[in-house]
Amino acid sequence: MHHGSTATVARTEAERIVLGLGGTVDVEVVWDAQALGAAARELGVGVGDLDAHREIVDERSLLAVLLALVAAGRGGERFAASSDLVRAFATRFTSVVTLGGTNIRAALAMAVLDVPATIHMVDVDATVRRLVPPGSVLLHTGVSEALDPHLIVQFPAGARVELTDGVVVAPHANRFIVTNDPPNRLLTLAPGLADAVERADVVMLSTLNAIQEREILAERLVELERVVTHRRADALVLWEEAAYHVPHVRDEVSAVLAAIADVYSMNEDELEAFVGRGVDLLDADDVSAALDELAAVVPARTLVVHASCWALAVGERAHELRAALRGGITMASTRYVHGDAMTRADHDATAALVPRADAVELARALERRRSDVAVEAGHRFDVDHPTTIGLGDSFIGGFVAALALAPAGPAAHPVAPDVAAHGRQVDA
């Protein structure tokens, strides 16, 4: 493919959408409270040891972080000292190997609607090639014998883990991710990414969160700015936030991506991290104040926030994205109930459901309060074994698929002049 060829060379359906930047092989632990309690007794983890923010240097500290998040009902992603540590902890439990990363899980969700994509990864292995959605185009830098795994533990609401000095009870369902992933820590971009972006209608970028070194981060951000200059004038660029392994990375990433992305998206945890406080998701005044606080630190043209009970867009293109918000909610809700087994029939059944009343009221109140916001209400489900892994990724898959399936495609939106003209240097 050559620059400037977009207008004359027919594209495949998969070339219309680019999903990047780094995928993973995930080891999903089957929830087992008894096995966790036994591990806590063996490793000497008690209630006083629980700390969601401690450094993960061995299995004991990994378990202390995991149980602290269970006790709070919160999700998170953390960096571990080694992949061997992650693998060793995984052997304590029954697990299933899947593919992860926002790009791949979004592609898997889109495949439910028969919408293919070009998926950018750093490295691939046999597991990736076996499990990637049929019809996908893989754009990658290298090939590995086996990718470093991401360990994921999801827990249901009400889960109880007995320790020697107390009981941990989960107030909400959620998931915990722990990894040491050298390829994604470097995140070397594939040479063909700029050409792929040039041909795409929608470009979804994510997964800079594993980078830790300032010099590498600065290089990747400048490279991404150059890549985005290849986008067509009527294409849409979407950035999806993530949980960063090193805190300073978030601010440096947001400073660049808020300028080059048409839509800057995040979940409720990431919203709270940006505004530095908890947000009452069903209080229109509090949500509105949080959106103003968010816009002050992430001055994106359009912001999207997807939460457990609603999804919204605020800013320049908010009202254009209502159908995409609905598509994201439907896909994430379907995954919550059906997990990896979700089908087109499951998706269509979810789409026919009536949204939860409290979220509908929040949406109406927020839209009455401000004209720059579009809010779509979510659903309420009573599920014994919900899937909490990949809900945000599935939201993005449903969001992007809705854009791709719209009769006219994404609305035209010109590249910001400063992005087209030059790269922006990030202080290292």
Predicted confidence at residue 385, as pLDDT, reads: 86
Query: What's phi and psi for 410, nearest 5 deg?
Result: -60, 140
Q: Which two tokens stand for residue 284?
A: 């229109």
Predicted confidence at residue 145, as pLDDT, reads: 81
Band of pLDDT at residue 142, cut at 50, 70 and 90? confident
**143 bridge partner residues:** 124
- Would you state the torsion angle of the CA atoms of residues 339, 341, 345, 346, taken in this order, to the nearest 10 degrees? -20
Q: Tens digit of pLDDT for each residue in 311-342?
A: 999 999 999 999 999 999 999 999 999 999 99
Q: What is the dihedral sign for C-alpha 348, 349, 350, 352?
A: positive
Widest CA span of the chain, in angstroms? 70
Listed residue (379, 394, 402) closest to 236, CA to CA: 402
Q: Which two tokens stand for residue 373?
A: 């916001």
Q: Tens digit of pLDDT for each residue in 230-253?
A: 999 999 999 999 888 888 889 999
Predicted confidence at residue 325, as pLDDT, reads: 98
Q: Tens digit of pLDDT for each residue in 403-412?
A: 999 876 665 4
Predicted confidence at residue 257, as pLDDT, reads: 96
Question: Which stretches within 44-192 are classed as H helix?
Answer: 59-72, 83-90, 102-111, 126-131, 182-186
Choose the weakest-confidence range: 204-213, 216-225, 391-400.
204-213
Q: Burial letters for 229-260: b for 16+ Cβ neighbours within 10 Å, e otherwise?
A: bbbbeebbbbbbbbebbeeebbebbbbbbbbb
Listed residue (131, 76, 123, 140) closest to 107, CA to CA: 131
Q: In degrees, to the nearest 5, what angle opens at C-alpha 133 toward C-alphas 128 and 134?
A: 110
Most confident of 7-21, 76-90, 192-206: 192-206
State how far the alpha carbon of 191 is from the alpha carbons of 1, 71, 188, 197, 237, in Å.
12, 44, 9, 11, 19
- The CB density around residue 408, as the number of other CB atoms within 10 Å, is 7
Task: Output the DSSP codes for 337-371.
Answer: HHGGG--HHHHHHHHTSPPPHHHHHHHHHHHHH-T
DSSP designation for 13 = G
Query: What's phi and psi for 250, nearest 5 deg?
Result: -55, -50
Residues 123/143, Cβ–Cβ less than 8 Å: yes
Listed residue (388, 320, 379) closest to 352, CA to CA: 379
Encoded amino acid at 184, one letter = N
Encoded amino acid at 324, one letter = A
pLDDT exceeds cutoff 90 at 423: no
104 Cβ neighbours under 8 A, 6+ residues apart: 19, 23, 24, 119, 121, 128, 132, 393
Band of pLDDT at residue 10, cut at 50, 70 and 90? low
Residues 174/154, Cβ–Cβ less than 8 Å: yes
Domains of the chain, with CATH numbers? 13-18+183-405 (3.40.1190.20)
How far apart, in whole angstroms, are the C-alpha atoms of residue 241 and residue 294? 13
**Helices (H), strands (E): how many in the chain?**
16, 18
Cα 137 from chain centroid (whole Å): 20
Query: What's phi and psi for 230, nearest 5 deg?
Result: -85, -10
pTM, to two decimals: 0.86
Q: Which two tokens stand for residue 89?
A: 């902890």
Q: What is the dihedral sign for C-alpha 147, 110, 305, 190?
A: positive
Listed residue (256, 246, 247, 179) closest to 212, CA to CA: 246
Encoded amino acid at 323, one letter = A
DSSP designation for 22 = -
Pairing state between β 166-169 and 137-139? unpaired
State how far the alpha carbon of 44 is from the alpha carbons of 64, 88, 170, 364, in Å.
10, 17, 20, 50
Residues 154/173, Cβ–Cβ less than 8 Å: yes
